[in-house]
Structure 1
Amino acid sequence: MRVLFLTSLIALASGGAAIAASTDGGPSIDTMKEVVKEISSDAYEGRAPGTAGEEKTLAYLVQRFEALGLKPGNKGSWFQDVPLVEIDAKNVSPLRFTGGKTAVSASYGPEMVIATYRTGQPHIEVKDSPVVFVGYGIHAPEKKWNDYAGVDVKGKTVLILVNDPDYQTPTLRGPFNGRAMTYYGRWTYKFEEAARQGAAAAIIVHDTVPAAYGWNVVQSSWTGAQHVADSANGNADQSAAIGWMQKDKAAALVASAGLNLDALTAAAKKRGFKAVPLKGVKASVSFDNAIRKHSSKNVVALLPGRTRPDEYVLYAAHWDHLGHCEAAPDGDDICNGAIDNATGTAALVALAEANVKAGATDRSQVFLAVTAEESGLLGSAYYGNHPVFPLSRTVGGVNMDALSMAGPAKNVVVIGKGKSQLDAYLDRALAAQKRVASLEPTPEKGFYYRSDHFSFAKHGVPMLYFEGGQNLVKGGPAAGAKAAKDYEEHRYHGPKDEYDPKWDWSGVKVDLKLYYDVGRALANTTDWPNWMPGDEFRAIRDRSRAMK
């Protein structure tokens, strides 16, 4: 039924799609506008995996790629199946803490969110689980840091701080790179480590600054259907319950045990911190799960190379968003994801179009639209574990996520600047525009670990990811920071991330040309860019290239 529906949508969409003109040999902004306006419309219902919105998105992308003359990249198919499990929590009880001086209860949505990675349990119940404050929840032997040292949390509920212990450091020097977040600071890691330690439940304390987003983002992202990767054991080795709670509730919880959250947080920032059991306090929560296994899809389009077709340059963007989410005050409950990431998906189409017009490069170019980024980079992670094209023959590439509509800037912000030799390609493209590459102004937000380039980096493939700069031509850094804050607070992961006909596309135009220039240069060179000496991914790349 799914295949028939998809085929019919492709048939209805095909025909009449012309390649838009590009006045400077680069990608067409008109094409970008068409794609963003289309796939971020309410008709696509927020493009959640496993919904009719996915079907429409896939059909539309195939229609665009097919009209350009690209080849289906996966052995004659446009798609790579990504096995997922949709879990929708129902009948969620409050998260209750008893046994302290006073009982503390947090309600689902406004005060806490809860979910599970376990795909084989229609009912989750954590009952009277002893609570342990484990600081930042990090076990990093190479840094001689272990927040779980000397404590057994099997069957217990762990309370965890978000980000790294040194995120408030003004410089990039510290046990966890100072102000710059490491993977140890990401919520994904914290739940992974809690599971390895045997915790029954893992609850992260939300704090807006170290989390890099407000509670509204947590609530909209973690309520409603969630998607997780499927596994043979149904993820039975994961904690039964994972979630977040508001900081004030966490403070009340800690106070019920006669302790102070600020004091515990200060202690947790220091090497040698020991986890603190909340004496007598026990946690309870229960919820039902509506479980549906399904295959979402990555879209794989190929422009074969002229002379070295078995070497690949990768362009990546995630097509998915949140679908229906927490409603805005006006009742709008569709998270359209116009900026995040209809813009990146549209850039993928525009780049494919421009490369077809310019002619094939020496190396093959792969245009990959991945699924389930919003659920934890699941689509790109699946591709990394099951590559359509050998990663040892994948030269590198670019990732595009949430292009900026703030207007033209004198710079771009490189996420992970200095990590790989791809920086040199970008620097040359920037020089032609008389612009510069800048370090991240907010490295504590951990953007390097929040988009799909990370999935490829873990397998050794260098991927360039940059964002529109904040040093705007009109208004400078202050105007850029203001625009970024406005988007984060009022649209990011919410129903108001919608297409706006009044957007200023001039900044996107020059940024998109950078992706185009870097991609074509990479696709025509004989070089194999690597990670810089000493980088965490260098050894993986070296091993991969040795097996080519």
Structure 2
Amino acid sequence: MTFRLFLPAALALIAVAPAFAQTAAPQISVDTLKEVDRTLSSDEYEGRAPTTHGEELTINYIRQRFEQAGLQPGNHGNWFQDVPLAENTASPTPLAISGGREPLTFTYRTDFVANTYRLATHTGVENSDVVFVGYGINAPELGWNDYAGIDVRGKTVVVLVNDPDWQSQSLDGPFHGRAMTYYGRWTYKYEEAARQGAAAVFIVHQTEPAAYGWNVVQSSWTGAQYNTDDPNNHEDQSQVIGWLTHDAAERLFTAAGQSLDQLERAAGQRGFRAVPLGVRATIGLDNQIRRSTSHNVVGILPGTTHPDQYVIYSAHWDHLGRCDADATGDDICNGALDNASGTAGLIALAEAYTRAGAAGRSVIFLAVTGEESGLLGSQYYAEHPIYPLARTAGGVNMDGLNIFGLTRDLVVTGRGKSQLDEYLQRAADARHLTVRDEPNPEAGYYYRSDHFSFAKLGVPMLDAGSGQDLVNGGTAAGRAAADDYRLHRYHQPSDEYDPNWDWSGAIRDLGIYYEIGRAIADSTDWPNWYEGDEFRAIRDRTAAERR
């Protein structure tokens, strides 16, 4: 989970009544939610890191609960889908900068983090020219290319996080103003740098545009890192990828005789051109490579009238495993909210479906691995689907449930992207709930959880949840709860199960997820993306397979 509790991207909903009958959810079991969350987030499960003993316990527990709920094995008689992974534990040398006003040596974890996508025992750069490439964006359709006029092959590029217009207070601008596009995501920055031939790339961290603090970068980027396995060992990727603290970046730019502040402002303007800094970077990574297999857990409730058509519910079961110890010495990142809660919701929904009886279409319940490492399990399923994506009508992804109580509002990542908007509006209207606009669109949540893996291959997926306006305490209380979690528990050992959690909001939300999924599963409709959406074309190309 990339933190979004109570702070997701909301949509501008279209006031069009969808053509489906409202189907009330059977009672969602709060006992199931509590028991599953408490179990999966216990120290016994060691933080649920992929390919560890914690994974073995986790996937077998989910399989057992799916089976008890009445599902059938979802992978041709098997409960599991193998996901081939490559684990890399990198040991970086200090990052040395030479050729400037003074030599600099940056300290791992304090000043920078670094890793590599390459599956090689040693990677690195030596005396690599450093170039500031602004936001590192090449978007021909927008007339924007931060790499124009410069060859960065073999060089080290320094990149800003988010989009050039992230500080806008509106949604107007070449990159949708304050709303982050995929060009703003750190994953894109590394992808584009590799396409440009950069040997190393470092993103400058800032809390506001990144939407999380350096502590999150530090805990997420140190220790074992996972990627999908690759027969070519990801040799098309940069030798080194990483992050710099803003303070470290300022020192680097000062040593190069430049002002980071001035160049940040320049990078936000159309026509910006990359700036060679006249300094050189040296860093080496010794990498311990371990190839292994993780697993998605797949259950299915076969449909009665259209069993070869599908609706999907997804949630990621993994978390960070062992991480930086807190003041008490606790080094297990239990991930109770992130995402034992979503996995608990997946199991509770499976129980609700089997109690109600099978729908017309088959319903898939998919617990995926590797979300914390870059949506690896959902990406693998989407690229190697057990059930054809062209015949998957849509679905719901759950990444963190509301454990703070009932709210008066709903939010959903993505803004007016697909006809699932209309299903959500119907459910909200029936409960007299307000669907609000996105409070912090700069965070780019739409590209940061497992629904994105399906969306970019054409399947409309909803990722929704409670808003900020708590029935008990209002928006101020909701925002305070969100801030407290983000600052004191997110990706830290303190994300632990609390028996005092209020699950009423989660129960309400799960009822909505049930209602939406069931409506699709009992219909012959094929929700689509709205005209002009980036995912509409790929969905339309498969239309013949749905006739």
* SS in structure 2 at match of 1:219: helix
Kept after mapping to 1: 8 A contact 2:25/2:514: no
C-alpha distance in 2, partners of 1:76/1:101?
65
- The answer on 1:101 being equivalent to 2:132 is no
| Residue aligning to 2:46 | 45
Instruction: In structure 1, give the amino acid aligned to 2:500.
Output: K
| Residue aligning to 2:363 | 365
Q: Deviations over 1:41-85 (max 9, x none)?
A: 111111011100000001000101111221111111111111110
- The TM-score normalised by the length of structure 1 is 0.94
| Residue aligning to 1:116 | 116
C-alpha distance in 2, partners of 1:268/1:478?
35
| Residue aligning to 1:494 | 492
Shift in Å at residue 149 of structure 1?
Answer: 0.4
- The answer on 1:519 being equivalent to 2:517 is yes
Q: What is the count of residue pairs matched by the alignment?
A: 523
| Residue aligning to 2:233 | 234
Shift in Å at residue 436 of structure 1?
Answer: 2.1
C-alpha distance in 2, partners of 1:274/1:296?
43
Which of 306, 309, 326 does residue 307 from structure 2 map onto? Answer: 309
C-alpha distance in 2, partners of 1:125/1:137?
21
Root-mean-square deviation over aligned CA pairs = 1.1
Instruction: In structure 1, give the amino acid aligned to 2:424.
Output: L
Instruction: In structure 2, give the amino acid aligned to 1:418.
Output: G
C-alpha distance in 1, partners of 2:228/2:346?
25
User: Which one is further off, 476-485 or 353-362?
Assistant: 476-485
| Residue aligning to 2:33 | 32
Shift in Å at residue 314 of structure 1?
Answer: 0.2
C-alpha distance in 2, partners of 1:81/1:374?
17
| Residue aligning to 1:405 | 403
C-alpha distance in 2, partners of 1:154/1:435?
53
Question: What are the equivalent positions in structure 2 for 1:210-359 lying under 5 Å apart?
Answer: 210-279=209-278, 281-359=279-357
* SS in structure 1 at match of 2:348: helix
| Residue aligning to 2:74 | 73
C-alpha distance in 2, partners of 1:405/1:32?
10
Which of 433, 436, 440 does residue 434 from structure 2 map onto? Answer: 436
- Identity rate, percent: 62
Instruction: In structure 1, give the amino acid aligned to 2:85.
Output: L
| Residue aligning to 2:20 | none
| Residue aligning to 2:478 | 480
Q: Give unpaired runs (5+ residues) of structure 2.
A: 1-23
Question: What are the equivalent positions in structure 2 for 1:82-231 lying under 5 Å apart?
Answer: 82-90=83-91, 92-119=92-119, 121-231=120-230
| Residue aligning to 2:460 | 462
- Cα 1:24/1:459, change in 2 over 3 Å: closer
C-alpha distance in 2, partners of 1:187/1:170?
22
C-alpha distance in 1, partners of 2:104/2:422?
54
Shift in Å at residue 484 of structure 1?
Answer: 1.0
Shift in Å at residue 467 of structure 1?
Answer: 2.5
Instruction: In structure 2, give the amino acid aligned to 1:255.
Output: T
Higher relative contact order (CA 8 A, sep 6+): 2
* SS in structure 2 at match of 1:547: helix
Q: Deviations over 1:223-252 (max 9, x none)?
A: 000001111210001000000010011001
Kept after mapping to 2: 8 A contact 1:85/1:228: yes
| Residue aligning to 2:5 | none
C-alpha distance in 2, partners of 1:103/1:505?
55
Shift in Å at residue 24 of structure 1?
Answer: 7.1
* SS in structure 2 at match of 1:374: helix
Kept after mapping to 2: 8 A contact 1:106/1:245: no
Kept after mapping to 2: 8 A contact 1:26/1:516: no
C-alpha distance in 2, partners of 1:403/1:545?
34
